[in-house]
Amino acid sequence: MAERPDPPPEWVDRIDATLSRLPQCRQARAWTGTSWKVGAATVAHVFGGEDQLIRLVVRAEPDEVMALQHLGPPYFKASWGANVVGLALDDDTDWDEIAELLTDSYCVQAPAHLAEQVPRPGGRLDA
């Protein structure tokens, strides 16, 4: 079996910079790579695959999952969980877009009383 590369530390730091500012969101070592959780719920997971690509998976609303999935690469619908979508990260990744996806993922996974505290992309508060 091929080795899975670790995500570059600077990419992990960029993801953490977005998620660590959200209420009760914490970084955790995953079975491979790094994940972020709120309570027991996984908000995001960044990891290297046996194909040497680095992927980020997040949670999204059903319509967002479908929209991203239909965009094609670098996006993909994960084979587990109805609300799990991912993308391959590379040197051309749009980190502003990643910050929006991470914030939305947190709001999908967090208890309502925490998600309500988070300004959503586009300037709206999650209701």
For tokens 């999935």, the residue is 69
- The pLDDT tens digits of the residues spanning 62-116 come to 888 889 888 888 999 888 888 999 999 999 999 999 999 999 999 999 999 999 9
Question: φ, ψ for residue 41 (rounded to 5)?
Answer: -85, 130
- Name every residue whose Cβ is closer than 8 Å to that of residue 108 and which is 6 or more positions away in sequence: 59, 60, 61, 83, 115
- The pLDDT tens digits of the residues spanning 12-44 come to 999 999 999 999 999 998 889 999 999 999 999
- In the chain, where the domains are located: 9-115
Instruction: Please name the fold of domain 9-115.
Output: Aspartate Aminotransferase, domain 1 (3.90.1150)
pTM: 0.89
pLDDT at position 126: 42
User: CB burial class (10 A; 0-12, 13-18, 19+) of residue 38?
Assistant: buried
pLDDT at position 101: 95
